[in-house]
Amino acid sequence: MPSASTITLNSPLDMHLHLRDGDMLQNIAKESAKTFSGGIIMPNLVPPVCTKEEVVAYRARIRDAIGDETFIPYMTLFFKPEYDHAFLESLREEITAIKLYPAGITTNSEGGVSGFDIETLRPALEAMSDLAIPLCIHGETNGFVMDREAEFVPIYEKLAQAFPKLKIIMEHITTKASVDALERFENLYATITLHHLLITLDDVAGGMLQPHLFCKPIAKRPEDREALLQAALSAHPKVMFGSDSAPHPREAKEACGCAAGVFTAPIALQVLAELFAKHGAIENLPDFISNNAQRIYGITPPAKKIILEEKPFTVPTSYGGVVPMYAGETIDYSIREVMDG
């Protein structure tokens, strides 16, 4: 590392990213592409990305939106139980993973899986195992909102046991129960967001409601946040950064029926640097932000250096009509330079 006041990150990766489509894609895609070398792109558009043609077309729209930024969109497919080996083999070179959503559990997930009968899922998941395609899962039931993720852990375990060669990524985990599950199954991995390392439910709804901190999975208890922090700060080898940066227009957030999602893409690296520095764990940030993901997914992102410095930065109140986390507040780190190659 350079001096104590600067931090250099090589090829940072965002392993869970929403770029949306249309005007929103055009407005916010560069906020990730400026500072990250690549990201796992979520497929829950309307309609969801379910065919080779849709994957190719969406990738092209992303590349158009990011212009000449050095950034690889690692594409995913929206999971359907009817996917067979031949279909997935034809897509193997186009996708990095497949994303499974329980039906209706989060934004644009109505076409997801209802029930988790192993035999119904077996043909698609065995094909994925054979083709070494990782399975990313939004792991929540439709139970009481604070218990949904913990209730899903037995489903993770059932899948991990039934398909031991399948890499299963527990997406945006928020509970100690999920962290503990990592130790029990060799083929379970996880992403952790920035906001779940920082907030609990009290920050969202303990006083005046904070709509721009409302997300799914909902923020949990202090002991859950502590478990996530320990996993990230210690460079747990099965944990990766995935922002789940989820942009919504201001009018959709500051409204009755507030949309779920926290927009962190423009400030993620700066705040992570501040967080890891505060805890004396800067040496572990490269593993959390890039090295673990490269090893787990078997990817090699383009070379890119991000130099951050300990210099106050006031977060803009809006990026392309989207309100970011910490809007209008001052954070401790700024991006000094971005170097490709």
What amino acid positions are annotated as catalytic residues? 244
Rounded Cα distance between 189 and 131, Å, is: 18
Four-CA torsion 217, 220, 223, 225, nearest 10 degrees: 50
Beta carbons of 11 and 290 less than 8 angstroms apart = yes
The rounded Cα 296 to chain-centroid distance in angstroms is 15
Q: Which two tokens stand for residue 167?
A: 């890499």
Beta carbons of 169 and 191 less than 8 angstroms apart = yes
Per DSSP, helices labelled H in the chain are 22-33, 52-66, 85-91, 118-131, 148-162, 176-181, 195-198, 201-205, 222-233, 250-253, 268-278, 285-286, 292-297
Question: What is the chain's alpha carbon radius of gyration, rounded to the nearest angstrom?
Answer: 19
Instruction: For residue 99, give the amino acid letter.
Output: K
DSSP notation for 235-304? T-TTEEE---B----HHHHSSTTPPP-B--TTTHHHHHHHHHHHTT-GGGHHIIIIIHHHHHHT--PPPE
CA of 100: how far to CAs of 37, 42, 50, 168, 197, in Å? Answer: 24, 10, 11, 10, 24
Helix (H, G, I), strand (E, B) or coil at 154: helix
